[in-house]
């Protein structure tokens, strides 16, 4: 962790799932709201549909309407069960939460500091939306693994831009704007949403005995990060 958690996910309003730990908490600090308390109350509760509510959910203080997703649930297909099994092996917990804990129309979130995914029940009751959101957020967990492992909160891109379809990159700009780091992270996750088993492959690479950066030959920026953090021997890709 580098001081602040990374929160990433899928959004239909702004269509941005805040990706960067450095940007998000500056935003969080500026927009967090506090509920005025009644005279007899001793503590304040978060206002629903605010960043404060999302933070309360992230910290595990708001648990009403939050339930852990279990791999044994009968209605999940093989891909979902395989994603959940791999996430469990990585130490990532997956929850479904009521819409009141999300800002605007955020569909899902991944927090790399706590290794937790939260899915918005307002969207994920739809099976198609569920698997698309899960693929997206689980891809971010794989990017967390690429950032040196699950023990820290760093998230790094896994794919070179030239491997990602142009229409996906265009969609990413429309969803998330033009911040370079956000685009580099999100374009992969956007692509994974509609690619069956793509996320599974990434998660299985994380769980293998071989470091994920030896299975997914990462972009130059990621390789440089890995070098300066002692994960690879050579500064430049060969």
| Per-residue pLDDT tens over the stretch 51-107 | 999 999 999 999 999 999 988 876 889 999 999 999 999 999 999 999 999 998 799
121-164, pLDDT tens digit by residue?
999 889 999 999 999 999 999 999 999 999 999 999 999 999 99
171 or 38: which leads in pLDDT:
171
Q: What is the pLDDT of residue 10?
A: 63
Model confidence over 181-203: pLDDT tens digits? 999 999 999 999 999 999 999 99
| 98 in any annotated domain | yes
pLDDT at 131: 96
Q: What is the pTM of this model?
A: 0.83
Predicted confidence band of residue 235 (pLDDT cuts 50, 70, 90): confident
pLDDT for the residue numbered 20: 36
235 occurs within a structural domain: no
Classify the C-alpha dihedral 10-84-113-229 as positive or negative.
negative
In a domain, 234, yes or no: no
Cα 227 to the center of its chain, rounded Å? 24
Residue 238 domain-assigned (yes or no): no
Instruction: Give the number of domains in the chain.
Output: 1
18 vs 216, residue with greater confidence: 216
C-alpha–C-alpha distance, residues 20 and 22, integer Å: 5
Mean pLDDT, the chain, as a whole number? 85
Domain region containing 44: 7-228
Does any domain span residue 233? no
| pLDDT tens profile 207-230 | 999 999 999 999 999 999 999 999
């Amino acid at each position: 962790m580098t001081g602040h958690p990374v929160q990433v996910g899928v959004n239909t309003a702004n269509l941005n799932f805040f990706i960067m730990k450095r940007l998000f908490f500056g935003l969080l600090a500026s927009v967090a709201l506090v509920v005025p308390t009644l005279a007899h109350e001793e503590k304040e509760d978060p206002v629903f549909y605010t960043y404060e509510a999302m933070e309360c959910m992230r910290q595990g203080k708001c648990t009403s309407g939050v339930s852990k997703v279990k791999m044994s649930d009968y209605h999940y297909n093989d891909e979902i069960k395989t994603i959940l099994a791999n996430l469990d092996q990585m130490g990532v917990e997956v929850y479904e939460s009521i819409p009141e804990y999300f800002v605007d129309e955020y569909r899902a979130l991944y927090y790399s500091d706590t290794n937790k995914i939260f899915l918005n029940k307002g969207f994920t009751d739809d099976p198609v939306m569920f698997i698309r959101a899960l693929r997206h957020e689980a891809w971010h967990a794989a990017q967390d693994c690429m950032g040196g492992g699950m023990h820290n909160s760093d998230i790094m891109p896994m794919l070179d831009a030239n491997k990602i379809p142009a229409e996906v990159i265009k969609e990413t700009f429309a969803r998330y704007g033009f911040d370079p780091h956000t685009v580099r992270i999100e374009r992969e996750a956007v692509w994974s949403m509609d690619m069956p088993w793509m996320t599974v492959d990434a998660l299985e690479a994380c769980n293998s005995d071989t470091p994920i950066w030896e299975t997914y030959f990462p972009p130059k920026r990621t390789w440089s990060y890995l070098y300066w953090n002692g994960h690879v021997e050579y500064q430049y890709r060969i």
